[in-house]
Structure 1
Amino acid sequence: MATTRITAQLPPNIDPTKAPLAYGDRALPKLNRELNSATLITRQRALMALCDVMHNAEHICSALRVGIVASLRRLLSDTNPVVRMKTTEVLFIMAGHAVGRTAFLENYIIIPLAKLFDDEVYDVRLNAHKAIQMSTQSPPGPEGVINARLIESLVSKLKIEEDDIREVILDTLHSCMFIDTDQALEASAMSAFTMLLSHDRPSIRCKAARDIMDLSFPLDGKRKACEENTIPSLVILLRDDHAEVRAKAAGALMVITITTEGKYKSIESKSIPPLISLLSDVHSEARLNAIKAITTLAEAPSGRQELQQVIEKLQFIQETDTSDAVIKAAKAAIKVITWKP
């Protein structure tokens, strides 16, 4: 016989941790009202729902119209750690879209977000760094970080933060140094990058070498690399077990050895034998960067003399390599090594 008993369980498609969405165009205005609620659980549930909604770029445009970004900016200073964590997560998702990155600058999100670099909760700090890093993926983003004078803070965090956050910071600095290297040089970034070349995690070693290459493009960066004794650490990485690390280390040496001081310091650090070994590397970027580094070292008389042994190998590469860029670099290297005054 049927009864009128009602189950105490929620329907299977109801998530009690998320705010229910209103229908159609009313959904985001309702969430915005809930974000500004005085009730903690209401704010938390609205943020949980917003994390799902913001994956759609169309919803980001609608969120901008109803003022959700301004509400999120206020929530960055909320006293509840869960609210701060989910707020930074929403901003990270938004920064994955071009319209969201533009909103970061227009709504002055970068500086309030950067204040969370010192938050006591690890997930809040990680999300804040990821949101800043994602915002630097298009041209206005790095300029916003540089104008906010955040480079010094980012470099200082490299020395004390957890490894996952260090990786994100290295990516952020990589994007910013395409625009400006002065702040990084003033913040002793070369010293921080050099310290990370001996890190246990291959991805950190790789990104540190890449950032050294970025920072060494200006003349002051090359000088700083020589002063900080960066070259011997890079030479060690030329024999690293991971191809990406070898490639980035060779790329950094390629840039630093453009100057006379860099050439002789590199030769003194015994960089030529491992660079010759990289000519047979399976990774085309490692071969290319090694050949270019060999070319710059051959401009020094002592380097040219030591590199006479590699001419045949370069000729073989020129004839057999599958990469046009490697073939072109090998041809230029042979010309420099065989040059006679």
Structure 2
Amino acid sequence: MAGVVISSKYPPNIDPTRTPLAYGDRAIPRLNRELNDDRLLVRQRAVVSLCDHLHDPEHIAEALRNDIGMSLKNLLKDADITVRQKATECLFVMAGHALGRDSFLETESIYPVAKLFDDTEDIARKNAHLCVMRISETPPGAEGIVKAQFVGLLVNKLQTELNEIKELILDTLHFCMREDTDSALEAKAMEAFTMLLKHDLPVIRAKAARDIMDLSVPLAGKDRAVACGSLQLLKDMLTDSTKEVRANAAGAIMTITITTKGKYTALNCECIPPLVALVDDMNSEVRLNAIKALTCLSEAPEGRQKLLEHVEKIRDHENDHIAAVAKAAKIGVKVITWLP
């Protein structure tokens, strides 16, 4: 299904001409002055030029020494969409480097950036989410987002945002849940992810399944997944034409079925037949996750009884050219053929 593509083009009445850069080490100080100018056109030209200038990593440290971060933080509240758009883009570029990420957290720029989640302009919201997603890629950044109590806000935005932004939110939550799952569970993230398993776009289905896998690591997450009916939807995704969807669905089932409740719910949903079909999948990640999920299900007597019929199929992968798959197959055969 065709989706809305967020355009980053400037409005037709905006002069995109960049402000002339001063020579050498005077460039950043001049840009910083112009970022705080009262004239709109001066601010627009300065922020556009700065965005291009920062793509050279050597200029980021100099920009931070000149308090560019604080100037950009102030521009996030500018009434002009072009200024807000390019200011968030500058912060996104800076957040791609360790110094920029540290400055982002130290100056608490995450709070004004998060206010742009409600901006009326699609591109401003997209850039704000890009910025937060980039910050979340490191443990301190993800921890900062959790401490700022933005997980609940991000989960709520999953219900209303454009598909392009939904992808960014799912990535941000993926990194945040590596640091803390309690906030996501309290925000009913499992219910939100489960709803997205039925989404039209494969990339969103795949990322929703991956996030369910992340949130199912603690026992409370596994129990919530069972209560939400996630397993039935994940089982249906095992026959998806997209390899990432199949891999993440099998991985989520693998994680949920570690518990007895998860095992028997999966068995009642008849997850074994589609998982067995994935043992010979062309994609190694799909094969690996499917074999591990079957190994979990074989720990239940009913699961072991059904899988004894397919043990040779798993045994064929004991010499798989992917070492992790071969190891998983050996463990799977051992568990399935175990006798008391």
Aligned partner of 1:95 in structure 2 is 95
Contact 1:299 1:336 in 2 (8 A): yes
Cα offset, 1:245, TM superposition: 0.6
Aligned partner of 2:236 in structure 1 is 236
Counterpart of 1:330, as a letter, is A
Question: May I ask how many residue pairs the two structures share in their alignment?
Answer: 326
Cα offset, 1:262, TM superposition: 0.3
Aligned partner of 1:61 in structure 2 is 61
Query: Is structure 2 residue 333 aligned with structure 1 residue 334?
Result: yes
Query: Is structure 2 residue 186 aligned with structure 1 residue 189?
Result: no
CA distance in 1, matches of 2:261, 2:329: 24
Counterpart of 1:322, as a letter, is H
Counterpart of 2:331, as a letter, is A
Counterpart of 2:330, as a letter, is K
Contact 1:257 1:293 in 2 (8 A): yes
Aligned partner of 1:25 in structure 2 is 25
Over 3 Å counting, the alpha-carbon distance change for 1:16 and 1:291 in structure 2 is closer
Q: Percent identity?
A: 56
Cα offset, 1:93, TM superposition: 1.1
Contact 1:57 1:99 in 2 (8 A): no
CA distance in 2, matches of 1:315, 1:291: 10
Query: Is structure 2 residue 138 aligned with structure 1 residue 138?
Result: yes
Deviation track 1:109-160 (CA, whole Å, cap 9, x = no partner) reads 1111001100110000000000000111222110110110000000000010
Aligned partner of 1:271 in structure 2 is 271
Other structure's SS at 2:312 match? helix
Contact 1:225 1:231 in 2 (8 A): yes
Larger Cα-atom Rg? 1
Other structure's SS at 1:178 match? helix
Aligned partner of 1:7 in structure 2 is none
Which structure 2 residues correspond to residues 72-151 of structure 1 after superposition, within 5 A? 72-151=72-151
Cα offset, 1:16, TM superposition: 5.9
Cα offset, 1:301, TM superposition: 0.8
Other structure's SS at 1:79 match? coil
Contact 1:37 1:43 in 2 (8 A): yes
Counterpart of 1:120, as a letter, is T
CA distance in 2, matches of 1:136, 1:304: 41
Query: Is structure 2 residue 265 aligned with structure 1 residue 297?
Result: no
Contact 1:171 1:207 in 2 (8 A): yes
RMSD across aligned positions (CA)? 0.9
CA distance in 2, matches of 1:75, 1:84: 6
The answer to which of 92-101 and 24-33 deviates more is 92-101
CA distance in 1, matches of 2:75, 2:89: 12
> Where does structure 1 lack aligned partners over 5 or more consecutive residues?
1-14
CA distance in 1, matches of 2:264, 2:78: 55
Aligned partner of 1:37 in structure 2 is 37
Deviation track 1:185-237 (CA, whole Å, cap 9, x = no partner) reads 00000010001111111111110000000000000000000110100000001
Cα offset, 1:337, TM superposition: 0.7
Counterpart of 1:72, as a letter, is L
Deviation track 1:256-306 (CA, whole Å, cap 9, x = no partner) reads 000000000001111000000000100100000000000010011111111
CA distance in 1, matches of 2:57, 2:185: 37
Q: Runs in 1 of length 4+ with deviation above 4 angstroms?
A: none
CA distance in 2, matches of 1:267, 1:152: 33
> Where does structure 2 lack aligned partners over 5 or more consecutive residues?
1-14
Cα offset, 1:99, TM superposition: 1.4
CA distance in 2, matches of 1:56, 1:147: 31
Contact 1:173 1:211 in 2 (8 A): yes
CA distance in 1, matches of 2:201, 2:102: 33
Contact 1:129 1:165 in 2 (8 A): yes
Counterpart of 2:36, as a letter, is N
Cα offset, 1:317, TM superposition: 1.0
Contact 2:16 2:48 in 1 (8 A): no
Other structure's SS at 1:296 match? helix
TM-score (norm 1): 0.94
Query: Is structure 2 residue 320 aligned with structure 1 residue 325?
Result: no
Counterpart of 1:270, as a letter, is E
CA distance in 2, matches of 1:65, 1:96: 17
Counterpart of 1:80, as a letter, is D
Deviation track 1:313-340 (CA, whole Å, cap 9, x = no partner) reads 1111113x10111111111111111112
